[in-house]
């Protein structure tokens, strides 16, 4: 079985005030249309593309950005639902801010043709999200069609999240992200590569790029890629396709689940089959002046 999937790199555009939010939704339509024209069945958009709408509100402060952007949550979700039905595409809609009884959350809406929109919450928040935007963490992970799951940006850096999805049958981990620096991008990309290895799964990493020229998006760094396990019969580079660094565009690739099963069962290493084989106990070591850390891993 194969699944044709697209990863989008979205570059923040200057929204013209006279057009309101129509330019933003037109931008989303351009990327989804490109995936549709490439005959993709699924398209993955990046995290927080709604930041583009801050061009319409230059006086909104950095601290109030999330609070301001929650007004677009319903429109984003309705758009994804409608365009998914019209196009037949599963649209992993990146993420946006949503007001909930617990507070503002960073959520990924997934449009599924002929079905209700699925919301996937970001569970682990960065210090910036907590301290500046004052948003609250989500709880739990969601099952998606085509054996897919979502971990929004920082969530991908925690093996437990990808493992939980894989144990639930996930074979494709979608990672919408927004990273301002090269280090931030590397943390997410390297984590995506690690998740593909340890769970023997496909990982689709989609990046938001461009900037507002001010906080909260003074800069960005990244590319979007479709990643495979570093195992035969997949390419040595473990990447099927990738957009040019810091450039908008989409890449499309066919995910072959038969090859994935081959890698899981016949590979020279079988990370998925071997995942629970060890006891992983650590032999205690007495604390000594020569050792820089104690038994708890704390510096002496």
pLDDT tens string 154-173 = 999 999 999 999 999 999 99
pLDDT of residue 152: 98
- The pair of three-digit structure tokens given for residue 92, joined into one six-digit string: 């992993």
Q: Is the pLDDT of residue 287 over 90?
A: no
Across the chain, mean pLDDT equals 93
Please check whether residue 225 is in contact with residue 242, taking contact to mean a CB–CB distance below 8 angstroms. Answer: yes
d(CA 66, CA 63): 7
Q: Give CA separation, 57 vs 21, 97, 178, 241, in Å.
A: 11, 16, 20, 36
- Residue 110: inside a domain: yes
d(CA 242, CA 8): 10
Parent domain of 201: 2-266
11's CB contacts (< 8 A; 6+ apart) are 209, 210, 246, 247, 248
pLDDT band at 58; cut points 50, 70, 90: confident
H or E segment to which residue 67 belongs: helix 65-69
Please check whether residue 148 is in contact with residue 184, taking contact to mean a CB–CB distance below 8 angstroms. Answer: no
pLDDT tens string 262-284 = 999 998 889 998 898 777 788 88
- Residue 296: inside a domain: no
- Residue 284: inside a domain: no
- Residue 88: inside a domain: yes
What residues does 121 pair with on adjacent strands? 107
Vertex 106: Cα angle to 102 and 110 (nearest 5): 115
- Residue 274: inside a domain: no
- CATH number reported for the structural domain that contains residue 189 in this entry: 3.60.110.10
Q: Give CA separation, 126 vs 94, 153, 190, 235, 296, in Å.
A: 17, 10, 17, 33, 25
pLDDT band at 75; cut points 50, 70, 90: very high
Among the listed ranges 188-202, 249-263, 265-279, which one has the minimum average pLDDT value? 265-279
pLDDT of residue 28: 97
Predicted TM-score (pTM) of the model is: 0.92
Q: Is the pLDDT of residue 300 over 60?
A: no
| Burial class of residue 70 in the structure, from the number of CB atoms within 10 Å of its CB (0-12 exposed, 13-18 middle, 19+ buried) | middle
- Residue 137: inside a domain: yes
d(CA 95, CA 153): 10
- Residue 192: inside a domain: yes
Please check whether residue 178 is in contact with residue 46, taking contact to mean a CB–CB distance below 8 angstroms. Answer: yes
Q: Specify the number of domains making up the chain.
A: 1
pLDDT band at 7; cut points 50, 70, 90: very high
Q: Is the pLDDT of residue 65 over 50?
A: yes
- Residue 291: inside a domain: no
- The pair of three-digit structure tokens given for residue 88, joined into one six-digit string: 């037949």
């Amino acid at each position: 079985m194969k699944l044709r999937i697209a990863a989008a790199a979205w570059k923040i555009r200057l929204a013209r005030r006279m057009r309101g939010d129509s330019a933003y939704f037109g931008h989303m339509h351009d990327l989804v249309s490109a995936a549709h024209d490439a005959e993709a069945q699924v398209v993955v958009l990046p995290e927080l593309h709604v930041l583009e709408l801050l061009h319409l509100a230059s006086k909104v402060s950095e601290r109030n950005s999330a609070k301001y952007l929650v007004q677009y949550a319903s429109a984003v979700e309705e758009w994804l639902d409608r365009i998914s039905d019209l196009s037949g595409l599963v649209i992993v809609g990146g993420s946006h801010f949503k007001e909930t009884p617990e507070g503002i959350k960073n959520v990924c809406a997934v449009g599924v043709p002929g079905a209700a929109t699925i919301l996937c919450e970001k569970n682990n928040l960065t210090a910036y999200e907590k301290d500046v935007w004052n948003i609250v963490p989500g709880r739990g992970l969601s099952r998606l069609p085509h054996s897919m799951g979502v971990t929004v940006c920082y969530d991908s850096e925690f093996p437990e999240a990808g493992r939980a999805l894989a144990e639930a049958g996930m074979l494709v981990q979608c990672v919408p992200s927004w990273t301002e620096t090269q280090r931030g991008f590397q943390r997410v990309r390297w984590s995506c590569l690690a998740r593909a290895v340890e769970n023997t799964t496909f990982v689709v990493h989609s990046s938001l790029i461009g900037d507002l020229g001010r906080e909260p998006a003074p800069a960005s760094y990244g590319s979007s890629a479709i990643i495979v396990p570093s195992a035969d019969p997949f390419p040595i580079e473990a990447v099927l396709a990738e957009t040019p660094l810091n450039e908008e565009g989409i890449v499309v690739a066919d995910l072959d689940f038969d090859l994935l099963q081959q890698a899981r069962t016949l590979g020279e290493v079988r990370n998925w089959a071997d995942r629970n084989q060890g006891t992983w106990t650590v032999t205690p070591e007495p604390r000594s002046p020569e050792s820089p850390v104690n038994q708890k891993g704390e510096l002496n």
